Structure 1
Amino acid sequence: MKTETHYGNFIGSSSCIDCHQKEYDNWEGSHHDLAMKIADSSTVLGDFNDAEFIHKGITTRFFKKGKDYMVNTEGPDGEYHDYKVDYTFGVEPLQQYLVKFPKGQYQVLLTAWDSNKDKWFALQEELDIRHNEWMHWSRGAMRWNNMCADCHSTNLQKNFDPETEIYNTKYSEINVSCEACHGPASEHVNYYKNGEQSSDPPSLYMETDMSSKEVVDKCARCHSRRSQLTDYFDYQGHFVDHYDPELLVYPTYERDGQIKDEDYVYGSFVQSKMYHSGVSCTDCHDPHTTKTRKTGNDLCLSCHEKSYDEPSHHFHEEGTDASLCVNCHMTGKIYMGNDFRRDHSFRIPRPDQTVKYGTPNACNSCHEDKSAEWASQVIVDQYGEERAEHFSDYLIPGQLGDHSALKKLISDPDFPAIVRATAIRQFVNTPLSPQDLELLQSQRKDSSALVRNEVVRALTNFSNPELGTYINNLLNDTVRLVRMNAARYFTLQNKTAQNEEAFQKAKNEYLDYLNMNSDFPSGQHQLGTYYEATGEIQKALNAYKKAIEIDDHYNFSRMNLALLFYKQGKVAEAEKLYLKVIEQEPQFAESYYMLGLLYNETNNTEKAMEYLSKACGLETPLMRACYNYALILQQNGQHLESVSVLEKALKSFPMDENLLYVKLLGEIKSGHNNAAVNTIEKLLQIAPQNSRYQDISRQLKQGNISPVRN
């Protein structure tokens, strides 16, 4: 087990008490202290007196056997078994329980104890989870070793062996102790205990004189939704040397960046004006008690003017919940069944965006009996017509297909880095012009590692030989995440890097990341794509199959496996896999699209058209499918049918230039010139300098365009 780092050894929180008694006392009993404990009479909160809880037909019984806390419930084989509870996990508003399994695994029960209401409840109340699914408590999604442990214990090392699939997970202290945040403290303690203080004291990983952004980055290690890059956090480097944070992509986040899925604060906070004004986590939260430094509006008034706490600003009765700053600027959601968490993007309510795009807003979260139109008008009445510019004004239409809105976000460095990185990821979902590629390349030296990383990821989708020159220098980037994806670019593109030494070093970091995450279906999937790129097809097949074995619903791998089978001439096997995806995920448009292409390429035109049509008729259609289906319809002379398909698609992607252009062609060819005039106007809104659009607009208005009949 690794105990020595740049800062020395881990020596335990008891070593801190002599000099930091107050901080220790504040920490003791905090959520960090109680993050994980041995299950005994002093830590277990749940009712284990032969209590039963029934959910979706599964009965879970909690009882005691001597001093042991026991549970009887459905296991991974679908049968009922007795399990001993070894550890508690958390304390308020819920407590979870850990059970030991073979191969060093610890599994977290999906039945938890509500410590506020003193009752058992289901963490996934709406889901009917079968025993062979990834989400079942006995399987990968609820495995402590890879899903929870890194943030609930100190000096955590997962120690997963991909060959034997055995975990030898270790930690220095069971909970989030002093050294979990401050780093190993042996050199720091020895300096003061030995009395030889002629030189400056050794530094700690987290100290009191850090900049606000450094504080946020270091808290982000656990307070962010992210994937892990390294097998061991060595308390060196930047946050993104060890973790890859989720971007503001729907449906993880709302299309405007508000919380939707479980997002863990960081991704929200770095969007905010608070963050960009130098506010950090510890300005509002005591890091030792984990509580806010003040309660109610007093916390906000620590920095903001008193006038913000008056009815002239909030227009609600004083002293009520409606007058609390957080209820307008930090709306929240309930996660894990009963855990209410607030959005830390600190945004101004925008019911006008709700009216236009359907995004949520703070006003209607309270005024549920009123419409978004009503709320929007109230804002206008109280604050006027104008709204301050906010990145969401561009991010929402950008995520709905407005290319120009994404370009605005990408090119303006005043927008938050996580927003610009998100815009780049969305930008490459449609065909790019040479000018678009130049815009991406111009961001290669951006000060944000998130932006640089997304540039590399984006350019990996293009085979332009000149792009390698831009990415080659990023093999020596100061941040591991960027270096890894630069190596991934050269690997997946099968190109030779100019700097072979830097490439091999970055490639090894990338391979370490892939192997470290091989206990996830996503990790096996990425191994599969790596093996495909390096020509190791059998290994790729095995990796995709392993991903599906880990999670039978991991259909990204099933889709890639189907395509590999098709390339090998195994059409029937590929067809079977696509149909399985459709069975499991009937709203997943990509599977219909790929099956339609398969039928098209095997000359089964009738079925090809059937499945392409289905890909376009779903609740969330696939843009590429609608684009291609409309083109095929037009090739067959079915211009009105193509326009109908595109109109449905444009409800989901109202500003997509490619869809609008094909719709324009369909309208012109069917003689619907009045409709074509409206469409060309929308295209000119998106690309006002496009000379072709200008010519078509002029001809339409002059009546010089005639329908083309096939």
Structure 2
Amino acid sequence: MPGRKQEIPATPPAYVGAQSCAHCHQEQHRAWKGSHHDLAMQHAGGMSVLGDFNSARYRYHDVTTTFFQRDGGYYVNSDGPDGRMQDFEIKFTFGVYPMQQYLVEMPGGRMQALGVAWDSRPRAEGGQKWFHLYPKEKVDHNDELHWTKLSQNWNYMCAECHSTNLKKNYDLASNRFSTTWSEINVSCEACHGPASRHVEWANRIPGAESIAQKGLAVLLDARKSVTWNFSPAANTATRSETSPPGKEIEMCARCHSRRSTLTEDYRHGRPLMDTHLPALLTEYLYYPDGQVNEEDYEYGSFIQSKMFHKGVTCSDCHDPHTQKLRAPGNETCLQCHRAETFASAEHHHHPMESKGAVCAGCHMPTTNFMVIHARHDHSIRIPRPDLSVRLGTPNACTQCHADKEAAWADAQIKDWYGPAWAPGWHFGETLHEAIQGMPQAGPDLAAVTLSPQVPDIARATAASLLANYLEPTTGVVLPKLLANPSPMVRHSALAIVEQLPAERRWVLAGTLLSDSVRAVRIEAGRVLAAAQQGAPTPALEFALESAVGDYVSAQLESAEHPQSHVNLGLLYQDMGNPDKAERAYLQAIALDPAYVAAHVNLADLYRVLNKDAKAEETLVKARTAIGENAAVEHALGLLYVRTRQMPNALASLALAARLLPDNARYVYVYAVALNSNGDASRAIEILEAVNVTHPYDRDVLIALVSFHKSAGNMQAAMEFAGKLANIDPRYGSEDQILQQSPLP
């Protein structure tokens, strides 16, 4: 009977396709048609291909790529995996605006994205032309960025987020993909989940609201019955419901985040970290203050924002079906921010019709990725040129006023807002300290990890950096971090646990083997694997076995990538299984003979096993396969030191330091070798140079004190002892350091 609750059969839900949804949801289906999700991936044809395939040519260094049509198909003539020019058929288009890429089918079920893409913007905006994704580099067929390499492989890098119900289906034994999808594009069920039960519900009892979830895997109802209301005295609206709207945001984050995949078994409605591991605010991906540096796909930025913490969801600003803003320009922001206060020259101090009056221009500045794709920073922040002055971070003011310095912008803002401008401390200041290796960063990081005013992603980043600072405060902070409600924080806190003795690891982290979130469980398993013999109870021993098994499965989820096998090799070494570790490293090398980490870790395994001859053989082979590489030469240099081949050691260590002069460790080790070989003056010279760029590196300072003292340069030794005392009082006074000054 209508309105009566009935049971839905317990069979697993299946994907039924967008057309099934369109029968009832015509308005939503019409809105979705033609959207970026709808056009995310298409079969190459006259209606989908936007690029010029009329014998168009594009020259990139020594390679001229030609785009043409033949027998009704679309083709490209370009350099293949061996560098020879070949014809390749275009099978699929990828994306639509502001650029379109093209996929070529290669042996082993691989789809590869060409390095030359089509700029689909209007000609007036600089578009309607071919361009290369790496214009400032010379990428040839030997380069890891070449279009035929794993870094440009659709199956591994892109597929999950451009199609619905994507199954990668990689087989390690045959090194082949058999990738499948339910629908080629990002369709209804990519977000709402498999809908067969929902269709059964709709057909069985039309309009009934009493059946739980309406047969859907997840109800994306964060906006239902929610309003944003202005109180009379407020300039910003508040959400009528305070419950966190994480369900929708974590669903979007599956694709709109910089993350790795833990399992292909995605379950709609489950926490993101059950299936994916989001990146932290790590150096190179983000600036210290959390502004995006490399592409982060929005999530890592947005969860830093004040808007996120006040309950704003993606669909508050974006229509989920068209993906367009809910209102044009500033009108989207003015849904919640009073126009008379914020859309005024008194607020933004720019002419009303200028770019400076656009909310997003100041609060969501853009960065171009993939050359032409301008993406807004979704941390939605107040510009902080004062941080730019101190930390070297970007700010919206000087991104627009490119001829001005950050200090000018800082002074301008202070002049505009006067005493009311008091931005205060920012977590980026502490992350910057830690990245620079400043000794005071330890206690400051500990404070950041516990601050409820700091976003979880920044607290998690601080926890991961705190692993380098085992301060006395860590013992107080660590239990709180491991019990934090945020799985991101709990996961990162395990990096600190990893630095502790085995028995302490079990006391602190044993319970996380049964954490409700997969990413935390498997990281606990990895960290405790080295302490497996010390499991205090059979129950914890069983939990460890299960978590380690899940960690292995997570690595094999990306079995096509050599790093997964390097990770397994490290795990097996920790577990005292050198044979399995060796096989894992060799598997990584088989997948990519030029993969540096596999060679270096295999050689280090042989070192541990007292097999220096095999270690040398491994590194010499790596040199042949890879060419000049700093990590390989550094490892070879250390091996030659151990085997007392000092001329070879000095040559390799010198090359490593020359190839990566900004790596203080490589320079330091080379200097120690020089000093041991009787060339103290050269050792001092290169250490003083690296001290300029790495003033907080303790090993460098200790070596400078020792080498100068041994050479009789007491004034210089005292100078560097003073620097060490200033940055880290734990070493004592200048005189104490000078008296101790052990040789490195």
TM-score range (shorter-chain normalised) is 0.7 to 0.9
Residue in 2 that maps onto 1:208: 221
The reply on whether 1:149 has 2:159 as its aligned counterpart is yes
Aligned AA (1:171): W
Structure-2 separation of matches of 1:312 and 1:158: 54
Structure-1 separation of matches of 2:675 and 2:60: 52
The reply on whether 1:269 has 2:302 as its aligned counterpart is yes
1:255 and 1:97, CA in 2 relative to 1: closer, same or farther beyond 3 A? Answer: same
Aligned AA (1:160): Y
Task: Please say if residues 594 and 622 of structure 2, whose CA atoms lie closer than 8 Å, have aligned partners that are also in contact.
Answer: no
Structure-2 separation of matches of 1:243 and 1:113: 31
The reply on whether 1:47 has 2:90 as its aligned counterpart is no
Residue in 2 that maps onto 1:421: 460
Structure-1 separation of matches of 2:382 and 2:94: 35
Q: Per-residue deviation at 1:383? A: 3.6
Provide the secondary structure at the position in 1 that maps to 2:397: helix
Structure-2 separation of matches of 1:439 and 1:621: 33
The reply on whether 1:569 has 2:612 as its aligned counterpart is yes
Q: Indicate the larger mover: 306-315 or 474-483.
A: 306-315
Provide the secondary structure at the position in 2 that maps to 1:8: coil
Residue in 1 that maps onto 2:374: 340
1:142-541 equivalences in 2 (<5 Å): 142-195=152-205, 197=208, 199-200=211-212, 201-209=214-222, 211-235=244-268, 237-306=270-339, 307-384=341-418, 386-402=422-438, 403-404=441-442, 405-429=444-468, 432-433=470-471, 435-497=473-535, 498=537, 499-541=540-582
Q: Matched residues, percent identical?
A: 37
Task: Please say if residues 103 and 114 of structure 2, whose CA atoms lie closer than 8 Å, have aligned partners that are also in contact.
Answer: yes
Q: Indicate the larger mover: 630-639 or 380-389.
A: 630-639
The reply on whether 1:93 has 2:98 as its aligned counterpart is yes
1:681 and 1:350, CA in 2 relative to 1: closer, same or farther beyond 3 A? Answer: farther
Structure-2 separation of matches of 1:576 and 1:481: 37
Q: Per-residue deviation at 1:221? A: 0.1
Q: Per-residue deviation at 1:676? A: 6.2
Give CA-to-partner distance per residue, 1:268-290, whole Å, 9 cap, x none. Answer: 11122221121111111111101
Give CA-to-partner distance per residue, 1:297-352, whole Å, 9 cap, x none. Answer: 22222222332222222222221112222222212221122111111112222333
1:632 and 1:142, CA in 2 relative to 1: closer, same or farther beyond 3 A? Answer: closer
Provide the secondary structure at the position in 1 that maps to 2:551: helix
Task: Please say if residues 262 and 275 of structure 2, whose CA atoms lie closer than 8 Å, have aligned partners that are also in contact.
Answer: yes
Residue in 1 that maps onto 2:234: none
Structure-1 separation of matches of 2:417 and 2:696: 29
Aligned AA (2:566): H
Provide the secondary structure at the position in 1 that maps to 2:612: coil
Structure-2 separation of matches of 1:337 and 1:186: 41
Q: Per-residue deviation at 1:434? A: 5.3
Provide the secondary structure at the position in 2 that maps to 1:572: helix
- Where do 5+ consecutive residues of structure 2 fail to align? 1-8, 122-126, 224-243
Give CA-to-partner distance per residue, 1:109-157, whole Å, 9 cap, x none. Answer: 2221111121121122223223244322223122221111100111111
Give CA-to-partner distance per residue, 1:241-289, whole Å, 9 cap, x none. Answer: 1001111111122233221122111111112222112111111111110
1:294 and 1:569, CA in 2 relative to 1: closer, same or farther beyond 3 A? Answer: same
Task: Please say if residues 7 and 204 of structure 1, whose CA atoms lie closer than 8 Å, have aligned partners that are also in contact.
Answer: no
Structure-2 separation of matches of 1:327 and 1:290: 20
1:604 and 1:363, CA in 2 relative to 1: closer, same or farther beyond 3 A? Answer: farther
Residue in 1 that maps onto 2:662: 621
1:433 and 1:322, CA in 2 relative to 1: closer, same or farther beyond 3 A? Answer: closer
Structure-2 separation of matches of 1:435 and 1:577: 46
Give CA-to-partner distance per residue, 1:635-694, whole Å, 9 cap, x none. Answer: 99999988766654455444556666776777898245874686367336xx6xx5x64x
Q: Per-residue deviation at 1:581? A: 9.4
1:313 and 1:236, CA in 2 relative to 1: closer, same or farther beyond 3 A? Answer: closer
Structure-1 separation of matches of 2:367 and 2:528: 41
Residue in 2 that maps onto 1:543: 584
Provide the secondary structure at the position in 2 that maps to 1:560: helix
Task: Please say if residues 401 and 656 of structure 1, whose CA atoms lie closer than 8 Å, have aligned partners that are also in contact.
Answer: yes
Aligned AA (1:185): A
Q: Per-residue deviation at 1:480? A: 0.3
Task: Please say if residues 671 and 706 of structure 1, whose CA atoms lie closer than 8 Å, have aligned partners that are also in contact.
Answer: no
Aligned AA (1:187): R
Aligned AA (2:453): D
Provide the secondary structure at the position in 2 that maps to 1:136: coil
1:628 and 1:136, CA in 2 relative to 1: closer, same or farther beyond 3 A? Answer: closer
1:705 and 1:525, CA in 2 relative to 1: closer, same or farther beyond 3 A? Answer: closer
Give CA-to-partner distance per residue, 1:501-554, whole Å, 9 cap, x none. Answer: 222222221121122211012212212223333444454334334434444553
Provide the secondary structure at the position in 2 that maps to 1:466: helix
1:607-686 equivalences in 2 (<5 Å): 621-625=662-666, 648-655=689-696, 670-671=714-715, 675=719, 679=723, 682-683=726-727
Q: Per-residue deviation at 1:42? A: 1.3
Task: Please say if residues 417 and 448 of structure 1, whose CA atoms lie closer than 8 Å, have aligned partners that are also in contact.
Answer: yes
Task: Please say if residues 637 and 709 of structure 1, whose CA atoms lie closer than 8 Å, have aligned partners that are also in contact.
Answer: no
Query: What's the TM-score, normalizing by structure 1?
Result: 0.88
Residue among 598, 605, 609 paired with 2:639: 598
Structure-1 separation of matches of 2:474 and 2:364: 36
1:277 and 1:187, CA in 2 relative to 1: closer, same or farther beyond 3 A? Answer: same
Q: Give the CA RMSD over aligned residues.
A: 3.3
Residue in 1 that maps onto 2:233: none
Q: Per-residue deviation at 1:66? A: 2.3
1:334 and 1:350, CA in 2 relative to 1: closer, same or farther beyond 3 A? Answer: same
Structure-2 separation of matches of 1:610 and 1:370: 46
Q: Which has the higher contact order (CA 8 A, sep 6+)?
A: 1
Structure-2 separation of matches of 1:549 and 1:272: 44
Matched residue pairs, number?
Answer: 692
1:551 and 1:315, CA in 2 relative to 1: closer, same or farther beyond 3 A? Answer: farther
Task: Please say if residues 702 and 741 of structure 2, whose CA atoms lie closer than 8 Å, have aligned partners that are also in contact.
Answer: no
- Where do 5+ consecutive residues of structure 1 fail to align? none
1:584 and 1:282, CA in 2 relative to 1: closer, same or farther beyond 3 A? Answer: farther
1:271 and 1:640, CA in 2 relative to 1: closer, same or farther beyond 3 A? Answer: farther
